[in-house]
């Protein structure tokens, strides 16, 4: 999501006012340390899994094998083919009376060795199976016999009940693509947006790079790919996120919205109580590995490494580079309300506090009349300041207000109780949604702790939202947690008739602890500067959210097309109408098919997409001609998307090559040119991953309306979208008000028109067009004459409860 902005700006993080920052140490040392960090993570995961009894397999499996060996021995059978006798000879002789004990120990040792060898063989076999990607290139409804056989073998080798991290040791490593293929794909991607002269110049740089530097840089990447878990992910985290010196607000954070049409309770404290309890239930299931592993298309397991840092995590600022601090456990949350900070415990001696008890604690905070201390109200604006400035100020806080700072940074997560309402209103639905998005993305600039992994935002009318820091994980991870939270707090926990959490208050609970900040005098000016910068950045963001209700995923699938590719081609048409030119387009795709994979860029503005857009704007082109070009463009986008998911994209490979060149102090004009490019259009789809939690067919309003992020370029757009059920798509658009070239609302209208125009190319769309137009209606003004009748309706409240998928 927000990664496009960070990807554009990672090069300035390698420079300073005094010139380029020298990367310390030779490249081989960096590769060695990268591998060392990988092995430490593997050992830590091994130890945690051993303590929880899930690695290498459950203890019952070893006990079963040991019992079978003992039974065979009792029946005078030797399954070890003499190995146990050899083991007995190596054991010390404790006398005749201990002869039977030596036999048991020999059987236990043999069972352990056999158990480990079998599990190692299963892991190797599963890794080889998971390296097959042919299934991704086939239609899901028409799998080949090879893919069916592969899928059956994967299920056999995966075991009966895999848990969240079961596949981690079996996932293949992300391959390093051929540098020739990467450069070829790059040149193909920039051809539509470059003039002939610029393209020839870029081609010359590419040929020079392939001739002089590529083989050396590629060799180091190949070496790292064998030694470390992933050849690019740790550098991506460090250089794109942690070394960025920009403000986290807008540049790195993104937001997730509540239900669009429904608010389960208008009571702020009650909604906060249920939501916090649901989040902590998710953390408990995460710790116990009770969450099923993610499967792509229900078939292929995805890497789960990013789940480890959802909770108890803070991005700590540094002068040159931040670092991520993760705690094994935390039994409190930090709460902000009207400029005051509180510490609220989440556990009692009997375990996790009930939702009603948490509601009681939040209500006590809401009822607390004490005012904020001087400068305390705006203290959190420091987390929205440039990272170097915040790092310097934090040193003073660390000495003067260490206890309060630790209470915030060591919390499970941050909770912001906002004094104003938010969400969709009947009086002005469009403006209210825009204000809701703006409040989640930036707020007031001082009402959330941007360093925390995420902030739960609860508005005065009971509306919820999430603000997420991006460095620790990508959107599907927080989205998975958010889906569980919304479903659990609304359907499983529920509310009483008067809107309160179910259960009874606990009058014995101590009051929430008010945090005391002893702020040094020199910090006051820094807070004022940080607040001024946050307010300037906040006021410059133009957010626009609109639900598109003319058609959704079901219509697109009836056209036998990929919903994501359909939207991406419509975005190309909309952006061309908005700006009158083509541009580099960033679409985020995940690479979690591989161990510790994160994302790759799909360059959606292809030559085929441009041909389609030109045809749509050419009045002489017929609908069948445009439709044929549209299908070609969709097929090309699908090919690009699948290549990116299989580790054969362009941008992460070029990024890693550039980092190696910096370590080697090799000057590459081609790589410098690549990483100086801007992304005027940054896009992302927010996936709905747990459809079993929601009854989207009967109650499509009980689905999260997605989220959004800031633009990657000062003169560009950030666009995210989510398919809400089968018949609605919600779009989140952002841009900068300071730019004269962009307007979020204008692009939104172009997107709606483009979707309707593309739909009218299909026979089903033609029927829909006739159904929406009266006998005397005229065309609405856009090319294909699709009439817009978008309305915002309130849905009936839900009466049924979907099943808990974890039961």
Angle, nearest 10°, between helix axes 651-664 and 214-227? 100
Cα separation, 582 vs 584, in Å, equals 7
Cα separation, 458 vs 85, in Å, equals 68
Dihedral over alpha carbons 500, 503, 507, 508 (to 10 degrees):
-140
* Rg of the chain (C-alpha set): 28
Dihedral over Cα of 225, 228, 232, 235: its sign: negative
721 pairs with which residues across the strands?
685, 731
Cα separation, 240 vs 505, in Å, equals 46
Residue 750, Cβ density class (10 Å: 0-12 exposed, 13-18 middle, ≥19 buried):
buried
Strands 323-326 and 313-316 turn out to be antiparallel
CA 68, 73, 78 angle in degrees (round to 5)? 95
For the question of residue 161 being annotated catalytic, the response is no
Residue of 470, 466, 436 whose CA lies nearest to 451: 470
Compute the half-sphere exposure of residue 352: CA atoms within 13 Å on the CB side of its CA: 16
CA 460 to chain centre: 28
> For 760-790, where are the alpha helices, taking DSSP H only?
763-772
Q: Which residues have a Cβ under 8 Å from the Cβ of 294 and sit 6 or more positions away?
A: 301, 302, 304, 476, 480, 592, 689
Contact 404/341 with Cβ under 8 angstroms? yes
Cα separation, 243 vs 659, in Å, equals 13
Angle, nearest 10°, between helix axes 179-190 and 651-664? 120
> For residue 424, how many other CB atoms are within 10 A of its CB?
23
Cα separation, 771 vs 156, in Å, equals 50
Per-residue CA distances from 661 to 50, 110, 223, 672, 737 (Å): 40, 50, 15, 10, 37
> Which H/E stretch holds residue 341?
strand 340-345
Cα separation, 101 vs 85, in Å, equals 13
What is the number of H-type helices and E-type strands within the chain?
25, 22
Dihedral over Cα of 527, 533, 537, 540: its sign: positive
Residue of 487, 554, 555, 804 whose CA lies nearest to 697: 554
446, 470, 480, 550: the active-site residue? 470
Contact 490/704 with Cβ under 8 angstroms? no
DSSP annotation of 191: G
> For 540-606, where are the alpha helices, taking DSSP H only?
553-558, 563-579
Contact 316/323 with Cβ under 8 angstroms? yes
Cα separation, 583 vs 46, in Å, equals 46
Residue of 297, 281, 289 whose CA lies nearest to 487: 281
Cα separation, 350 vs 666, in Å, equals 61
Residue of 297, 264, 244 whose CA lies nearest to 590: 297
Contact 560/763 with Cβ under 8 angstroms? no
Contact 711/5 with Cβ under 8 angstroms? yes
Strands 323-326 and 464-468 turn out to be unpaired
Three-state DSSP class for 177? Answer: coil
- Catalytically active residues are 470
């Amino acid at each position: 999501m927000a990664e496009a902005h960070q990807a554009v700006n990672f090069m300035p993080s390698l420079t300073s006012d005094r010139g380029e920052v020298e990367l310390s140490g030779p490249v081989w040392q960096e590769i060695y340390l990268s591998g060392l960090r990988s092995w430490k993570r593997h050992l830590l995961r091994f130890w945690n899994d051993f303590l929880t009894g899930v690695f290498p397999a459950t203890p019952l499996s070893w006990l079963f094998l040991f019992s079978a060996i003992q039974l065979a021995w009792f029946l005078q059978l030797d399954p070890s083919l003499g190995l146990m006798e050899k083991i007995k000879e190596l054991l010390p002789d404790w006398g005749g009376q201990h002869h039977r004990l030596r036999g048991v120990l020999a059987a236990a040792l043999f069972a352990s060795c056999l158990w480990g060898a079998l599990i190692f063989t299963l892991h190797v076999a599963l890794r080889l199976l998971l390296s097959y990607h042919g299934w991704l290139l086939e239609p899901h409804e028409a799998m080949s016999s090879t893919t069916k056989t592969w899928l059956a073998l994967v299920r056999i080798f995966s075991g009966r009940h895999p848990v969240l991290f079961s596949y981690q040791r079996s996932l293949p490593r992300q391959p390093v693509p051929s540098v020739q293929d990467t450069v070829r794909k790059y040149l193909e991607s920039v051809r539509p947006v470059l003039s002939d002269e610029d393209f020839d110049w870029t081609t010359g740089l590419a040929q020079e790079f392939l001739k002089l530097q590529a083989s050396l840089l590629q060799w180091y990447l190949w070496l790292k790919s064998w030694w470390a878990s992933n050849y690019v992910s740790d550098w991506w985290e460090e250089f794109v996120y942690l070394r960025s010196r920009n403000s986290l607000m807008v540049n790195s954070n993104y937001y997730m919205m509540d239900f669009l049409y429904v608010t389960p309770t208008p009571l702020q404290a009650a909604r906060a109580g249920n939501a916090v309890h649901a989040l902590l239930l998710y953390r408990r299931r995460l710790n116990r590995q009770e969450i099923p592993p993610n499967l792509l298309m229900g078939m292929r397991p995805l890497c789960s490494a990013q789940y480890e840092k959802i909770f108890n995590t803070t991005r700590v600022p540094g002068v040159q580079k931040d670092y991520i601090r993760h705690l094994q456990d935390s039994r409190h949350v930090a709460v902000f309300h009207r400029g005051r900070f509180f510490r609220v415990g989440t556990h009692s001696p009997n375990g996790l506090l009930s939702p009603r008890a948490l509601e009681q604690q939040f209500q006590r905070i809401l009822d607390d009349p004490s005012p904020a201390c001087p400068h305390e109200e705006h203290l959190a604006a420091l987390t929205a300041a440039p990272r170097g400035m915040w790092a310097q100020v934090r040193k003073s806080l660390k000495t003067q207000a260490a206890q309060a700072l630790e209470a915030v940074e060591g919390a499970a997560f941050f909770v912001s109780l906002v004094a104003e309402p938010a969400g969709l209103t009947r009086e002005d639905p469009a403006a209210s949604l825009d204000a809701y998005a703006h409040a989640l993305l930036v707020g007031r600039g001082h009402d959330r702790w941007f360093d925390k992994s995420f902030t739960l935002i609860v508005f005065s009318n009971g509306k919820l939202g999430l603000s997420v820091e991006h460095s620790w994980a990508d959107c599907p991870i927080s989205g998975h947690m958010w889906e569980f939270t919304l479903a659990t707090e609304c359907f499983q926990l529920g509310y009483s008739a008067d809107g309160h959490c179910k259960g009874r208050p606990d009058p014995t609970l101590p009051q929430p602890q008010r945090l005391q900040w002893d702020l040094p005098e020199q910090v006051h000016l820094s807070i004022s500067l940080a607040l001024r910068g946050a307010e300037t950045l906040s006021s410059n963001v133009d957010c626009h959210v609109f639900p598109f209700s003319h058609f959704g995923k079901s219509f697109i699938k009836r056209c036998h097309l990929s919903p994501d590719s359909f939207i991406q081609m419509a975005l190309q048409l909309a952006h061309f109408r908005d700006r009158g030119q083509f541009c580099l387009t960033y679409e985020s795709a995940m690479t979690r098919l591989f161990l510790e994979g994160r994302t790759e860029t799909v360059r959606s503005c292809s030559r085929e997409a441009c041909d389609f857009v030109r045809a749509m704007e050419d009045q002489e082109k017929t609908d069948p001609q445009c439709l044929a070009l549209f299908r070609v463009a969709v097929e090309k986008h699908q090919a690009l998307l699948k290549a990116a998911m299989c580790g054969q994209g362009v941008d992460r490979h070029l990024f890693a090559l550039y980092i190696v060149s910096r370590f080697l102090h090799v000057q590459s004009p081609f790589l410098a040119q690549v990483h100086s490019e801007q992304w005027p259009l940054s896009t992302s789809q927010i996936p709905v991953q747990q459809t079993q939690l929601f009854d989207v067919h009967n109650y499509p309003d009980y689905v999260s309306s997605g989220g959004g992020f800031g633009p990657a370029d000062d003169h560009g757009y950030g666009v995210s979208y989510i398919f809400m059920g089968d018949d609605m798509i919600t779009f989140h658009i952002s841009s900068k008000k300071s730019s004269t070239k962009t307007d979020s609302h204008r692009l939104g209208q172009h997107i709606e028109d483009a979707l309707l125009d593309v739909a009218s190319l299909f026979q089903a769309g033609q029927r829909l067009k006739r159904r929406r137009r009266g006998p005397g209606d005229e065309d609405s003004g856009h090319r294909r004459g699709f009439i817009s009748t978008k309305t915002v309706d309130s849905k009936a409240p839900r009466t049924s409860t979907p099943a808990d998928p974890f039961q």
